[in-house]
Amino acid sequence: MDSEQIVAGVDEVGRGALFGPIFAAAVVYKKNKIPEGVKDSKKLSAKQREKYFKMIEETAEEISVSFISNFDIDRTNIQKANIECLRSAVLNLKKEFDIVYVDGYRINNLPYKQKVVIKGDEKIPVISAASIVAKVLRDRLIIAFSRYFPPFGLNKNKGYATKEHKEAIKRYGLTIFHRKSFKIKN
């Protein structure tokens, strides 16, 4: 690949959460300018993600973020919401790029050359950068929500189905930000 090639990467986070929106981020870089050490957000600590987030903010050609609310996830379904969130993040980019690398899902009706890479957040640095941006911003939002819904442990579980979170749902019921279409077993 040409080192001066302009590439975009897009990834989403929050797909499997019980609470809150899903976020997608698209990041544009010159192929040879992606920060060293960037990797899948799930393989980094919160402190490491914040460090890389700042680095990405300072070095990316452009960053675009989108989200789909829990209300829209419930209205459509998670798969449609996921694809729409990814599409929106890419379409909001203003900078021209040669190709967009997508983590896991083909984005229909996208007017750009795209390459879908299964587990791309582990393999393609520009997708890893997008995953870090999406994860940091979603986590910040969910942590802010945790002040209003303390029994659910959102500051720790970020809205995912931990034992503590499921027990709080059983005890207190769903908040307006929980995904009503998600079934919680047991």
**Residue-range domain boundaries for the chain:** 6-172
* CATH 3.30.420.10 is held by the domain 6-172: yes
151 burial class (0-12, 13-18, 19+ CB within 10 angstroms)?
Answer: middle
What is the pTM assigned to this prediction? 0.93
Q: What is the pLDDT along the chain (186 residues), one digit of tens a residue?
A: 455 799 999 999 999 999 999 999 999 999 888 888 888 888 899 999 999 999 999 999 999 999 999 999 999 999 999 999 999 999 999 999 999 999 998 999 999 999 999 999 999 999 999 999 999 999 999 999 999 999 999 999 999 999 999 999 999 999 999 999 887 654
Contact predicate 174/70, CB 8 Å: no
